[in-house]
Amino acid sequence: MRTMTLGKTGLTVSEVGFGCIPIIRLSQAEAVNVLQRAFERGITFYDTARMYLDSEEKIGKALGRVREHVVLATKTTQREGKAALAELETSLRLLGTDWIDLYQLHQLSKPEELETALGPGGVLEALRKAKEQGKIRHIGFTSHSLEMARKLVATGLFETVQFPFNLVETEAGTTLHPEARTRDMGILVMKPFAGGILDDGGLCLRYIRQFPDLMVLPGLDSLEYVDEIADLYEDEREFSAADEARAEAFRAELGSRFCRRCGYCQPCPNGVSITNAMMYGVLAKRLSPAKAVKFTRESMESVRQCIACGECLDRCPYGLPIPDMLTELLEMYERHCNECLA
């Protein structure tokens, strides 16, 4: 496993990190095994969050004995300083450590939260004090809003940025990443497989590897998957013309109507489960119509409550025509239901 330097943090990390959301669904023993296998395979960066339920505790149990050799990152969704410090203390206790290498403001995307977070008594002020006390070594942020992420990078207040980037969500590559580079920030990539929509792991990783200063964070949840990702990262093949053709085919398939599952369109005042319903077409293609109907029935039935009020339209940062898409997806779902009955 190759290593890299994470921007101005100066941290040396493996080129691929461990996104820890999926270990939530594992038992503690399973999670410990998976985390330890990742360490054995050379993965030294582990990214969790206070809101990922018991994942910090599992990391603490799995990696406590090798603490000096791993880089631990966690996050808080709190915007007030006092509440954030309480979360920091909980994270330190559960991770079983005296310091957190990278502490991130989690999902800072809403403009109304910015003033609180960066103002007096806000989370950033509190974290700077915690940094002086040695409880935190570096401060970064994560976001799903390109506009907000660019604004935060421009403040010069953060050492790292974590944002979605993959071969179909490429916007950050031409805007956010160059801006972060000029400030020598560490750049972390979430959703390298577009949230599970892209099923060719090798292709996705080769795409991201074209940019050697990007640190990628796939979510890992089994020994086999850890080995698969580590093997892919030991494969030195470069992104080829054939890869680009395949990437283009994915882009064409998903098109400009690709829902990123960011959830900003929610909640719907009429109870439509928008984000889940928006995935119906992709699921039907990737699984099978019968399975998609079974897994998404509740969400798809909620689409009948849509009155096309348009409230969600303003909230979608990607400008997707949500009510029209929901109507089309509901028609597809009904067709599949009928086929399943036939």
The count of other CB atoms within 10 Å of the CB of residue 36 is: 17
What is the dihedral sign for C-alpha 172, 146, 182, 10? negative
Which ranges constitute the DSSP H helices of the chain? 28-40, 55-63, 81-95, 111-118, 123-132, 146-155, 171-174, 176-182, 201-209, 223-234, 241-254, 274-278, 280-286, 289-302, 322-341
243-248 long-range contacts (CB < 8 A, ≥24 apart) are 243/203, 243/206, 243/207, 246/200, 246/203, 247/167, 247/168, 247/203, 247/207
Q: Which of 140, 203, 323, 330 binds ligand SF4 (CB under 6 A)?
A: 323
Nearer to ligand SF4, 208 or 312 (CB): 312
Which residue number, 119 or 267, has a Cβ lying nearer to ligand SF4?
267
Among 77, 90, 175, 275, binds ligand SF4 (CB under 6 A): 275
Nearer Cβ to ligand SF4 (115/324): 324
Binding residue for ligand SF4, selected from 20, 232, 320, 329, defined by CB under 6 A: 320
User: 278-317: which residues touch ligand SF4 (CB under 6 A)?
Assistant: 278, 306-312, 315-316
Q: What are phi and psi of 216, to 5 degrees?
A: -100, 145
131 binds ligand SF4 (CB under 6 A): no
Rounded Cα distance between 229 and 113, Å, is 36
Nearer to ligand SF4, 121 or 267 (CB): 267
Site for ligand SF4 in 3-22 (CB under 6 A): none
Q: How far is the CB of 159 from ligand SF4 (least distance, A)?
A: 27
State yes or no: residue 246 binds ligand SF4 (CB under 6 A): no
Q: Report if residue 122 touches ligand SF4, rule: CB under 6 A.
A: no
Q: Which residues bind ligand SF4 (CB under 6 A)?
A: 259-265, 268-270, 272, 274-275, 278, 306-312, 315-316, 318, 320, 322-323
